[in-house]
Amino acid sequence: MRREDLAAVGAVGASLLIASCCLAPTVFLVLGASIGALGLLTGLEPYRPLFVVLGAVALAYAAWRAWRPEPAGSAAACGEASCAPESPQRRRTRRLVAAAILLYGFAIAYPYALAALL
């Protein structure tokens, strides 16, 4: 797995951890989970700022790797067309990073949007 793909997957994981304290209980309640099981997820709330920072760092690195111009001479070192700026692999990586950015934004905004609705 390429570094930018790994960073995007890490950002998605951080987004899921960010949302675990607020979004996951909502989903579990909608699906019919018991209230007792939801108490376990509230223990992650103190770590939410750490998850936000880790997710931002992973997203920044993934975006930098996905959208940066290739250095001169890297095509020769690559040996394949997968390193080309418009290769299918780069487009897939850019889509993955864009999806991770959207999920990250939703995970951060969800508690505030929920509080405004209630």
Q: Structural domain boundaries of the chain?
A: 3-117
State how far the Cα of 25 lies from the Cα of 35, in Å rounded to an integer: 9
Determine if the pTM surpasses 0.85. Answer: no
State how far the Cα of 32 lies from the Cα of 25, in Å rounded to an integer: 10
Top-ranked range on mean pLDDT: pick from 79-83, 86-90, 93-97, 109-113: 93-97
State how far the Cα of 37 lies from the Cα of 24, in Å rounded to an integer: 11
Distances (CA, A) of 26 to 20, 65, 108: 10, 34, 15
**90 and 78 Cβ atoms separated by less than 8 Å:** no
The kind and range of the H/E element at 49 are helix 48-67
**Residue from 52, 45, 38 nearest 103 by CA:** 52
pLDDT tens digit string along 8-60? 777 777 777 777 766 666 676 677 766 666 666 677 778 888 888 888 888 88
State how far the Cα of 17 lies from the Cα of 100, in Å rounded to an integer: 13
* Weakest-pLDDT range from 19-23, 62-66, 101-105: 19-23
